[in-house]
């Protein structure tokens, strides 16, 4: 039987989960600059020709009378977009003869009524993670030193039972090392491997 997905399975053990938990890990998502997001009119350039309102497929633009008395707009009609009807096709942006539309790539247009949960959680989480990573790396180094000493005893120990004992302790310690790296990277598969390692150590003994 050929195992054609073996390489895939092995690389996936040390990888973080693919789904990005959206408000908490906002910095993993990259949006191109020209993504079609929120758009609005620069009132100093608009001439009131109403082409955008005539052509909008979902009739989302209303020309309203705002008395601004700028020289460019004799009828004082300006377009107001109803974002709940807009499908973001950007036909209005394309067809405006004076290019009066300002475009952004902001797509988060839902108004949140709780007090800004996403930003709060994101800031807290990133500060904690950086501090935690440095300290856990230091402890990782100390653990590897002890594992190296134990393997030295396995190779050159006085009696057989010494070797067995130090091998067991080395396995338990290396499971802790796996757990620490798992938390630093954020991959869940490594944490599950610690359980498997401990069971194997017990069965060996």
CB 98 within 8 A of CB 46: yes
Residue 45 CB, shortest distance to other proteins, in Å, is 20
Residue 38 near other proteins by CB under 8 A = no
Determine, following the binding rule CB under 8 A, whether residue 6 of this chain makes contact with other proteins: no
CA pair distance 180, 186, nearest whole angstrom: 10
Tokens standing for residue 8: 């895939």
Tokens representing 172 are: 């338990």
* Residue 82 within binding range of other proteins, rule CB under 8 A: no
Give the three-state DSSP class for 171: helix
The radius of gyration of the chain's CA atoms, rounded to the nearest angstrom, is 31
CB 29 within 8 A of CB 73: no
Distance (Å, whole) CA 200 – CA 190:
15
What is the sign, positive or negative, of the torsion defined by CA atoms of 164, 168, 173, 179? positive
Among 13, 28, 57, 85, binds other proteins (CB under 8 A): 57
Residue 64 binds to other proteins (criterion: CB under 8 A) = no
Q: Is 8 a binder of other proteins (CB under 8 A)?
A: yes
Q: Is 101 helix (H, G, I), strand (E, B) or coil?
A: strand
Report how many residues bind other proteins under the rule CB under 8 A.
69
Q: For residue 161, is it left (φ>0), alpha (ψ between -120 and 50) or beta?
A: alpha
Using CB under 8 A as the binding rule, whether residue 68 contacts other proteins is answered as no
* Other CB atoms within 10 A of residue 161 CB: 9
Contact track, other proteins, 165-184, x by CB under 8 A: xx-xx--xx-xx--xx-xx-
Residue from 36, 39, 45, 163 in contact with other proteins (CB under 8 A): 36
**Binding to other proteins in span 88-147, by CB under 8 A:** 88-91, 94-95, 124-125, 127-129, 131-132, 135-136, 138-139, 142-143, 145-146
Give me the residues that bind other proteins (CB under 8 A), please.
1-2, 4-5, 8, 18, 24, 30-32, 34-36, 55-57, 87-91, 94-95, 124-125, 127-129, 131-132, 135-136, 138-139, 142-143, 145-146, 149-150, 153, 159-162, 164-166, 168-169, 172-173, 175-176, 179-180, 182-183, 186, 188, 191-192, 194-195, 198-199, 201-202, 205
């Amino acid at each position: 039987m050929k195992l054609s997905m073996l390489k895939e399975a092995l690389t996936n053990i040390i990888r973080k989960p693919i789904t990005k938990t959206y408000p908490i890990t906002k910095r993993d998502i990259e949006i191109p600059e020209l993504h079609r997001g929120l758009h609005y009119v620069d009132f100093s350039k608009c001439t009131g020709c109403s082409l955008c309102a005539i052509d909008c497929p979902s009739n989302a633009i209303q020309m309203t009378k705002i008395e601004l008395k700028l020289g460019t707009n004799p009828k004082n009609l300006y377009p107001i977009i109803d974002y709940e009807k807009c499908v973001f096709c950007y036909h209005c942006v394309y067809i405006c003869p004076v290019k009066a539309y300002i475009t952004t790539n902001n797509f988060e247009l839902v108004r949140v009524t709780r007090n800004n949960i996403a930003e709060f959680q994101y800031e807290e989480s990133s500060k904690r993670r950086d501090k935690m990573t440095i300290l856990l790396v230091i402890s990782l180094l100390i653990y590897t030193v002890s594992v190296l000493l134990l393997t030295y005893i396995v190779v050159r120990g006085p009696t057989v039972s010494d070797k067995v004992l130090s091998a067991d302790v080395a396995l338990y310690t290396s499971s802790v090392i796996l757990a620490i790296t798992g938390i630093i990277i954020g991959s869940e598969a490594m944490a599950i491997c610690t359980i498997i390692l401990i069971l194997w150590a017990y069965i060996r003994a």
